[in-house]
Structure 1
Amino acid sequence: MRTVAEVARMIDHSLLRPELTTGDIETGCALAARYRVASVCVRPADVPLAATALAGTGVLVGTVVGFPHGGNATAVKEAETRLAIEQGATEIDMVLNIGRLRSGQLDDVEADIRAVVTAAASAPVKVILENAYLTDEQKIAGCRAAERAGTRFVKTSTGFADGGATMADLRLMRATVSDTVEVKAAGGVRSLDTLLAMADLGVTRFGATVTDRILDDLDHRLRDRDGWTAA
């Protein structure tokens, strides 16, 4: 079984709900630092706060671009990306243009993604497909456009549509992109068993809001396996 530290480094702790207060963001960043997860993913306006809160912790600051619908003009997505990087973001989760993808306008989809990848410079970009709105053929086309555009990850969902990550979608995405592109699951990753099953498919990053529940569950299981008594 994977260690707590290994699983923690696969989690992007999500702080994207619109009602979250400044105090909620600070509390979430403290939780992320305590568990030493890969990153927090915050709303764009919260990037400076998160960057300050997480300085020196080793936890990265991620944010979203074109969120949650993907319909922003490309120039707006570029500007969002550049500002986020200037303010301390080190990872970018962008929503591709869902309507253009559904319309079969793949050149537009690819150009939109490439513009964000360029604006992000060395910061990894995760392209959100929002699979709940797509056919399998559209998911494949979106993944391939994202890879051609130079993305580091393809991602299932924003967590704000009717459906989130599914095992079938993750298999399809992992089979569609090359080994140089990683797969992120988001939306519905609410238990350790779900996360581990998805990891077995080759998923390497997870968006989660119940990070502490997942990692505490793993800690308890490992203690039980090794004959420890959980405190």
Structure 2
Amino acid sequence: MNQQELISIIDYTLLKPGASKADLKKFCDETVEYGFRTVFVNPYYVPYAYNLLSPYGIKVGAPIGFSLGGATTHAKVEETGEAIRNGAEEIDMLINLGALKSREYDVVKKDIAEVVKASKGLTTKVIIETGLLTDEEKITATRLVMEAGADFVKTATGFNGGGADVKDIQLLRSIAGNKIGIKAAGGIKTYEDAVNMVKAGADRIGASSAIAIINGQVFDGDY
């Protein structure tokens, strides 16, 4: 996989809670310079990033229920609607981990389905936090994501331990088949890491370390 091919599937992210507007401006400038197609920023910064990036045809995405997933479905739906009104064109929501662990699968599925509905046809990805789940729970979560109508299952936020793992990507792909996409995120720090995720079955890569990755460097910062 060459550099341009990798750039085309990376969601460049800046989700640090203390990121300033100056940090966002630098981040957006880098996005334009390197040609990333999609970025993810915290909901507060969606309008700012949209104004800077939309002239270049670059999509801005928003995380929903981030980074714990325990918000009510109503809150997630409202957050989704506001993000879209502010310019978001992709949605990455966090699954209700407590409900999943409690085996309240109808709650989990409805939570996802309502956000998918609120997304009005935009690409919707569901973060399942693989580092906090058993293999059985990963399988169940992926099936619920598919049944609820989301477009992708995503490995992790990068904030709650664990992250993208080749074995997890292979497991998720074995369940998802070609019905939904898989986004590998959390702890991807090198070009080799990213390529290995793609080989294992990932369609998208989420990384705050995107520039270091494509330049073949080792990234030692946070997600």
TM-score w.r.t. the length of structure 1 is 0.91
| 1:23-52 per-position Cα deviation (integer Å, ceiling 9, x unaligned) | 111111111111111311000000000100
- For residues 2 and 36 of structure 2, the distance between their equivalents in structure 1, rounded to whole angstroms, comes to 13
Native 8 Å contact 1:163 1:187 kept in 2:
yes
Q: How far has the Cα of 1:180 moved from its partner?
A: 2.5
| 1:130-187 per-position Cα deviation (integer Å, ceiling 9, x unaligned) | 1111111111111100111111110000000121111111111111113120000111
Alignment RMSD (CA, Å): 1.1
| 1:58-88 per-position Cα deviation (integer Å, ceiling 9, x unaligned) | 2210010000110000000000000101110
Quote the residue 1:196 is aligned against. Answer: 195
| 1:100-120 per-position Cα deviation (integer Å, ceiling 9, x unaligned) | 001111111000000000000
Q: How does 1:31-70 map to 2 (within 5 A)?
A: 31-70=30-69
- The 4+ residue runs of structure 1 with deviation greater than 6 A are none
Q: Secondary structure at the match of 2:145?
A: helix
Quote the residue 1:167 is aligned against. Answer: 166
- For residues 169 and 176 of structure 2, the distance between their equivalents in structure 1, rounded to whole angstroms, comes to 11
Native 8 Å contact 1:67 1:94 kept in 2:
yes
Quote the residue 1:222 is aligned against. Answer: none
- For residues 171 and 178 of structure 1, the distance between their equivalents in structure 2, rounded to whole angstroms, comes to 10
TM-score w.r.t. the length of structure 2 is 0.95
Question: Which residues of structure 2 form unaligned runs of 5+?
Answer: 218-223
Q: Which amino acid aligns with 1:101?
A: L
Native 8 Å contact 1:125 1:152 kept in 2:
yes
Quote the residue 1:141 is aligned against. Answer: 140
Question: Which residues of structure 1 form unaligned runs of 5+?
Answer: 219-231
Native 8 Å contact 1:190 1:210 kept in 2:
yes
Quote the residue 1:223 is aligned against. Answer: none
Quote the residue 1:221 is aligned against. Answer: none
Q: How does 1:11-50 map to 2 (within 5 A)?
A: 11-50=10-49
Native 8 Å contact 1:74 1:115 kept in 2:
yes
Q: Which amino acid aligns with 1:102?
A: K
- For residues 140 and 170 of structure 1, the distance between their equivalents in structure 2, rounded to whole angstroms, comes to 11
Q: How far has the Cα of 1:3 moved from its partner?
A: 2.6
Q: Which amino acid aligns with 2:148?
A: A
1:152 counterpart = 2:146: no
Q: Which amino acid aligns with 1:151?
A: A
Native 8 Å contact 1:36 1:58 kept in 2:
no
Number of equivalenced pairs:
217
- For residues 17 and 112 of structure 2, the distance between their equivalents in structure 1, rounded to whole angstroms, comes to 25
Q: Which amino acid aligns with 1:125?
A: T
- For residues 184 and 162 of structure 2, the distance between their equivalents in structure 1, rounded to whole angstroms, comes to 12
- For residues 78 and 25 of structure 1, the distance between their equivalents in structure 2, rounded to whole angstroms, comes to 25
- For residues 131 and 99 of structure 1, the distance between their equivalents in structure 2, rounded to whole angstroms, comes to 14
**Residues 50-59 or 150-159, more deviating:** 50-59
- For residues 58 and 86 of structure 1, the distance between their equivalents in structure 2, rounded to whole angstroms, comes to 17
Q: Secondary structure at the match of 1:30?
A: helix
Q: Secondary structure at the match of 2:51?
A: helix
Q: Secondary structure at the match of 1:171?
A: helix
Q: Secondary structure at the match of 2:141?
A: helix
